[in-house]
Amino acid sequence: MPHIVVISTGGTIASRWQGAGYAAEAAGLEVLAAGAIPEGVDVRVVDLFTVNSSRLTTAHQLELLRTVHEVLADPAVDGVVVTHGTDTLEESAFLLDLHHADRRPVVLTGAQKPLDAADGDAAGNLYDALLTASTGRDIGAVIAFGGLVHAARGTVKKHTVDVQAFADPTGLPLGRVQFGRVTWGRHRPRPEALPLPAAGVRPPRVDIVMHHCDADPVLFDAALAAGAEGIVLVGTGAGNATPDFAAAVGRAVAAGVVVAVSTRVAAGAVAPIYTGGGAVDLVEAGAVLAGTLRAGQARIAVLSALLSTPDRADRPAALRRIVDSTSELYLVDGVGK
């Protein structure tokens, strides 16, 4: 009998009406009781915290990372399910995946409708996550949502309220859950896992700054002044900004700050195509292009590079190794978006 541990962290899947809106409230056993457990699966619940995921901090995420590793230290555990709010689920999933070296899966899920909604999606998503955790192997950290299983890397929340909330805009899902079984597509190779951050480590500050018409580096420089050790610059197009931003990036890199460049465009990779403040100049100034990672996951990539690399001089190379593993796209046979 597969033994699955469910780690409860709150989110809409644990939310109830509070008089003016919904907020996370229910414990893990209450969430579990709202739906059916796949036949032959044994489940244990760990209540880690109960918060709306928009309120999660890096400290919360590192606590979740350590808890997953502690749970998997028990050889009797066959897999882990994390119930999580959808707002920042893609960030937590990617962090877990970057530091996951176990054959056993970690499956994140949540809901777009609150726990007590008559037409809610919590029960179905949790059932699918338990099924995925009990049958999957060598898949890393994944997201089970809306009948699909997505790799953590590259998957983002694509709709604010629709029950089909997640997708990889540049790739395809890993599998589909139908009729009580998971149908897997092509295996997606995974990079070597990063080491687990030391307990009690102070999370470094990593900020996100977006470029737009009339933008200048004022907010970029403010992040530096606030003590940021890493910054994600969200450019336009294939990762473009202005000469002023390129100069600001150069100053930051010279000061030992890691800078990644993502894009506000929904799909596709950033690429060094344009000068005049474009990605060509940003790379020349020392920035690392974030491949297909969007802002939230690019920030996690920077965070993990900082946490796993004590020597500041080695951090840009560490970030490139994380990002390079996103450069090849793996299409999934027989599984449509």
What's 190's DSSP letter? -
State the catalytic residue, choosing from 9, 12, 88, 242: 12
**Residues composing the chain:** 337
User: How many angstroms separate the CA atoms of 41 and 44, rounded?
Assistant: 10
Instruction: Take residue 219 and report the two structure tokens written for it.
Output: 């907010």
Query: Is 12 among the residues known to form the active site?
Result: yes
Q: What is the largest CA-CA distance in the chain?
A: 61
Query: Is 9 among the residues known to form the active site?
Result: no
State the catalytic residue, choosing from 50, 86, 88, 236: 86
Cα distances (angstroms) measured from residue 41 to each of 132, 146, 226: 11, 21, 48
Partners of 184 in the β-ladder: 175
CB environment 193-219: b (16+ within 10 A), e (fewer): ebebbeeeeebbebbbbbbeeebebee
User: How many angstroms separate the CA atoms of 143 and 89, rounded?
Assistant: 9
| H or E, element range at 59 | helix 58-72
The residues that are catalytic are: 12, 86
